[in-house]
Structure 1
Amino acid sequence: MGSASPSCTELADTYDAIVLGAGAAGLMCAAVAGQRGRRVLVIDHNRQAGAKIVISGGGRCNFTNVDTAPDRFVSANPHFARSALARYTPADFLALVERHGIAWHEKTLGQLFCDGSARQIVDMLLDECAQGGVEIALGSAIRAVEHGEGQYRIGFGTRAVSAPRLVVATGGPSIPKLGATGFAYDLARQFKLKVVEPRPALVPLTLSGEEALFRDLAGVATEVVAGAGKAAFREAALFTHRGLSGPAILQVSSYWRHGEAVAIDFLPDRSAGWLAEAKRSSPRATVRSVLAAALPARLAETLAERLALTGELANLSDAKLAEAGRRLSDWRLRPNGTEGYAKAEVTVGGVSTAELSSQTLEARRVPGLHVIGEAVDVTGWLGGYNFQWAWASGWAAAQAL
């Protein structure tokens, strides 16, 4: 968004509230506040409003999830999101979508998508802003942000503006090609707000060394249970030329830390001892052949090679087969990193929730300063949860403007 420090002393246009960021949270907040009778200005250095919305969900925008609950979010304070999520629900946003005549459908795991284009959601938000008389200024970097005598003064482009309320909705640094930056963190530090160390989330993981052998499986996908930390997800995993991706891996990436292993259960529906049972029913089969009956052939071949169990099952002891079964249900891979913010859908970390009111998203020690959306240390699971946090946090902040 630009620098947050130099002076802006020009005669300023005045507003009731200024929102920095024309993304999901910022537009929602501005629209609601505008329709509550507030004079609102939205500023964004991008030339396009809602840039991340447009590319989301493969261009169809996974705009919410009907299973939204506080336990679907990662935060240093797992209870922080509870208030906003309870007061503005997926049903509330869906009612808005339907009021605008946008057709939608539910995919797996409670995910709601537009039938048409994600641009419909952006157009809806812009229409809601227009109904509230919101002014939107795009394509101008912010030169300065100052606070004094109960007013926030913002210098951007050739203009200077002021308001008693400032909403920071500039997101995190994920997907920098769309103009994403760490501006929210710079601004938070300017106002001496703590920032939980940000890192890429919902992001592919990379493998190196011996585990790079799995790169030969690039393009192979299978349903697994993937776990990191205390979290585990049953969805598809995809092997890539750099490591691991797919929904299950993107989910655990939000919980994974450098140096830790990711646990993969390649056969989540198989009970303990299933290889010994296969030996009794098909003694002449091989580990590779029984794996190939349940997994993609290339993956089955690679796993059998790594298990180093050759020959017919009849010639392998039950103990060796039991150990192989344990490895297949708890295969440890140790990623050496992630594909970074360029491929990350969101950012874990951000402005500390300890600094903010869970009711209004206002900074406790800086009156009139609100932080919403991805800029806050609240990160949802894959599947529409981050959009619901954007809508809910934007709505909650707007009630206090």
Structure 2
Amino acid sequence: MSEDKLNRRTDTLAFAERSSGGIWDAVILGAGAAGLMAGIVAARRGKRVLILDHARTAGEKIRISGGGRCNFTNLNASVKNYLSGNPRFCISALKAYTPVDFLKLVDSHGIGWHEKTVGQLFCDESARDIVTMLLAELDEAGGRLQMGTEIKGIEHRDGLFHVATGRGSEKARALVVATGGKSIPKMGATGLGYDIARQFGLEVLPTRAGLVPLTFSDSQKSFAAGLAGLSVDAEVRFGKVMFREGLLFTHRGLSGPSILQISSYWQEGNPVTINLAPGTNCLESLMAARKSNPKQDVATSLSEILPKRLAKAIIEREGIKGHIAEQGDKLLRKLDEAVHRWQVIPVGTEGYRTAEVTLGGVDTKALSSKTMQANDVPGLYFIGEVVDVTGQLGGYNFQWAWASGAAAGRAL
């Protein structure tokens, strides 16, 4: 059955069940990765589950992820790949539902996949395959999905959660909040999940954009803008954290996997250190060129290590002119520093508009690490990105969605 037909079928069935005046075992807010997984697992256990979402179609972030091919998990997912106020909170859920568990589900639906980088798994064809798989699993398990439904308010009385929507009211014994974070608001991201947490007395830690490009001040921006579109392999450091992946110059600053990774750790006002030619020795190369090709232009010598555009830009920025033979050791060391230890102080990030994830969120101290249930509010669960657990780039956030969703689904 096609994805569109599955959406329409579950939506119709949800209306039918609602009209019967029944009480759901669980209402799940959010039809993204975590919400769909929670619904599938709970419905398989015979629970009457309704998933609500204000978007027109389910799994929109899944659909655009991984360049349209969805980096749906990482085989190496472990606690070291996640940021949280309580770094060990994610361990229980990740152990209970592993990348291999999700891969078995993918294989059972005949979805082709490949390993692009160590541990990173992508669909061979389209991210839509993952969405279609999840909707099919939900439908087969008997879970219900209702899209295009705005949440107006939530109350908890008489042992039930009362969810007021733009299409009526729902009652449930449990409420699962899988509304995601604030990243990519053009796709409908809101702070609803944080509002619900505060309503029920849970602390919400400050949020900010993560896995996001860094932006520069005007002086630095002109340097980056002149190189816009150029990509190099780079080591990017902040404090004790380092990533070696691609770096991309943009009109506003820097992007690329290494920059997105470090952005989740970077603290405003502090420098980021970048090695533009890891695995090489710029100083030795330049000194050797000074002996072997003394009449060679400095930029030409440097382009043996870096792309010509980048070499020329660095030479101009450092104000160095003439042949390599004319450059003393001090100037060559200056160039070596510019290549291997380039320090920049970003003025900020591109924000939630382009961020892949939201850092911070519902404080894990208020939740059970095994079930995702609020410690002081029985029947209330928080899963996925809305929780203060954020993965690195490379499929880790999807694995957290599957694992935390499965944890809540088993507990409902």
User: Shorter-chain TM-score: what band?
Assistant: over 0.9
Does residue 245 of structure 2 align to residue 235 of structure 1? Answer: yes
Of 271, 281, 302, the match for 2:313 = 302
Partner residue, 1:252 = 262
Preserved CA contact (<8 Å) 1:105 1:114: yes
Does residue 273 of structure 2 align to residue 263 of structure 1? Answer: yes
Partner residue, 1:387 = 398
Q: 1 CA distance for matches of 2:25 and 2:320?
A: 71
Which structure's residues are more often helix, by fraction?
Answer: 2
Of 55, 67, 84, the match for 1:75 = 84
Instruction: Tell me the CA shift for residue 272 of structure 1.
Output: 7.1
Of 230, 235, 247, the match for 1:220 = 230
Does residue 140 of structure 2 align to residue 144 of structure 1? Answer: no
* Greater displacement, 281-290 / 71-80: 281-290
Partner residue, 2:350 = 339
Q: 1 CA distance for matches of 2:56 and 2:407?
A: 27
Instruction: Tell me the CA shift for residue 278 of structure 1.
Output: 3.9
Instruction: Tell me the CA shift for residue 255 of structure 1.
Output: 1.1
* Greater displacement, 27-36 / 299-308: 299-308
Preserved CA contact (<8 Å) 2:314 2:338: no
Q: 2 CA distance for matches of 1:382 and 1:281?
A: 43
Does residue 389 of structure 2 align to residue 378 of structure 1? Answer: yes
Partner residue, 1:95 = 104
Preserved CA contact (<8 Å) 1:12 1:160: no
- 1:304-343 aligned at under 5 Å gives the runs 304-343=315-354
Instruction: List runs of 5+ in structure 1 lacking aligned partners.
Output: 1-9
Preserved CA contact (<8 Å) 2:301 2:324: no
Q: Structure 1 residues 277 and 75 mapped into 2: Cα distance closer, same or farther (>3 Å)?
A: farther
Q: 2 CA distance for matches of 1:38 and 1:76?
A: 33
Does residue 214 of structure 2 align to residue 209 of structure 1? Answer: no
Code of the residue aligned with 1:292 in structure 2: it is S
Q: 2 CA distance for matches of 1:179 and 1:349?
A: 19
Preserved CA contact (<8 Å) 2:282 2:339: no
CA RMSD of superposed structures (Å) = 1.7
Does residue 367 of structure 2 align to residue 359 of structure 1? Answer: no
Instruction: Tell me the CA shift for residue 87 of structure 1.
Output: 1.2
Instruction: Tell me the CA shift for residue 324 of structure 1.
Output: 2.6
Preserved CA contact (<8 Å) 2:210 2:359: yes
Instruction: Tell me the CA shift for residue 233 of structure 1.
Output: 0.9
Measured against aligned partners, the alpha-carbon deviations of 1:158-203 in whole angstroms (never above 9, x if no partner) come to 3212222111000011111111111111111111211111111111
Q: What percent of counterpart residues are identical? A: 53
SS of structure 2 residue aligned to 1:341: helix
* Greater displacement, 150-159 / 318-327: 318-327
SS of structure 2 residue aligned to 1:360: coil
Partner residue, 1:3 = none
TM-score normalised by structure 1 residue count: 0.94
Preserved CA contact (<8 Å) 1:13 1:160: no
Q: 2 CA distance for matches of 1:277 and 1:379?
A: 46
- 1:42-191 aligned at under 5 Å gives the runs 42-191=51-200
**How many residues were matched structurally?**
392
Instruction: Tell me the CA shift for residue 149 of structure 1.
Output: 3.2
Q: 1 CA distance for matches of 2:160 and 2:295?
A: 80
Q: 2 CA distance for matches of 1:13 and 1:294?
A: 69
Q: 1 CA distance for matches of 2:144 and 2:276?
A: 52
Q: 1 CA distance for matches of 2:343 and 2:21?
A: 59
